[in-house]
Structure 1
Amino acid sequence: MRKWKRIQTADGPRFRSSLAAHEAVLLQNLVTSLLGMLEERESSAPTDELHAITGIRTGNPQPPQDDTLRRLLPDFYRPATEHPAGSGTAESLNSALRGLHEPEIIDAKRDAAQRLLGTLPDGGGKFELTESDAQAWAASVNDVRLALGTMLDIRPDGPHRLSQEHPMAGHLDVYQWLTVLQEYLVLGLMGK
């Protein structure tokens, strides 16, 4: 992957880069997997009879059981201290907020992922993005990084290396590549 190059045009900024064929395939596979996880989560929402009447969709009120999805769709509210009424208050609030907002959050993540896939060069090569496409790329790459980072148990202090025997050792390089891809794109979006 080359660094992103910001080009100013009459229609606004454009962001140019290129991907090797294997990088394009890797990114396509990762984003497609992300879409599958989001689809599975969306389909886990219980049937809501009011949806047919009001058209308002509701999400699954229960937090995801999977750590990766829980990282992508975290709780809305985390109390700073224990509530006198117990943890049920925070759980109830999170359940209500999940039911109300999770469909739109999943839609936004799906839209960004589909825009990335729609602008990804088949077989690699040079490509150019509009500013809104570049923002979708940044959002989708961030989601993929969050998912992969959760699977690798990445925390602020590491790991920076995994032993060769670790079943996910090769994925750490992919995580680091995604970090560089996102960092250079964000810098381009900031005009730096």
Structure 2
Amino acid sequence: MNGWTRKNGHLRAEFAPQEAAVIRGLVGQIKDMLAARADEAPVDELTELTGIRTGPATPPEDRVLGRLLPDFYRSDPETGESDEEETGAAGAMRSLHEPELLELKTGVAATVLETCPPEGGTVKLTEEQADSWMSAINDVRLALGTALDIDEDMPDELPEDDLRREHLNVYQWLTWVQDNLVEAMSS
């Protein structure tokens, strides 16, 4: 990929077959994880009557999925104090809002999968599709960063014997793809 360009109101980039495979594979994995989480939603008879969907009240046990679907209230890691005003509010907020969040995240992933040709080639996006790409790539980066334990202290290159080395290269490439897309959208 040489970078995103803007032409005639569309954003374009050329992806090699292996680049398209990486993006489609990782975005597809995230979409599958999110769909599996959506399947965990409790059956609620009121949903059929009111149209209001509910999701699980507890956060995901998987730390990668937990990073993609964080709590609605923050806890101080040192003191354990929370900005949650009432006991159980976090679970209620999650139950009410997680279905919509899952729908949004799987929707942006679907847009990437629809617009990124499996064999590589030209990707041509509208502004709305480009927004979906940025969100989906961000989700992949969050998941990959969590799985690799990436933090601000991690060096740009890992030792050759570090099993995370190749995955870190993918993470860094996705960061460049996302940054380049932001620049193209801003121009």
Q: TM-score, normalised by structure 2?
A: 0.91
Identity of aligned residues (%): 44
Q: Per-residue displacement from partner, 1:47-88 (whole Å, max 9, x unpaired)? A: 2221122121101110111110111011111156866xx898
What residue in structure 1 maps to residue 4 of structure 2? Answer: 4
Q: TM-score, normalised by structure 1?
A: 0.88
Q: 1:39 aligns with which of 16, 24, 35?
A: 35
Runs of 4+ in 1 over 6 A off after TM superposition: none
Conserved? CA contact 1:76–1:94, under 8 Å: yes
Q: Counterpart amino acid of 2:6?
A: R
What residue in structure 1 maps to residue 147 of structure 2? Answer: 151
Q: Per-residue displacement from partner, 1:84-141 (whole Å, max 9, x unpaired)? A: xx89856612111101110111111111000011000231112211111111101100
What residue in structure 1 maps to residue 51 of structure 2? Answer: 55
RMSD: 2.0
Q: Per-residue displacement from partner, 1:10-32 (whole Å, max 9, x unpaired)? A: xxx21011111001011111011
Q: Which moved more, 1:181-190 or 1:158-167?
A: 158-167
Q: Per-residue displacement from partner, 1:155-178 (whole Å, max 9, x unpaired)? A: 122243333333332111110110
Pair 92,23 (structure 1): closer, same or farther in 2 beyond 3 Å:
same
What residue in structure 1 maps to residue 102 of structure 2? Answer: 106
Matches within 5 A, 1:1-192: 1-7=1-7, 9=8, 13-78=9-74, 92-191=88-187
Aligned residues: 185
Pair 66,79 (structure 1): closer, same or farther in 2 beyond 3 Å:
closer
Q: Report the 3-state secondary structure (helix = DSSP H, G, I; strand = E; otherwise coil) of the residue aligned with 2:88.
A: helix
Conserved? CA contact 2:73–2:83, under 8 Å: no
Conserved? CA contact 1:78–1:90, under 8 Å: no
Conserved? CA contact 2:20–2:118, under 8 Å: yes
Unaligned runs of 5+ in 1: none
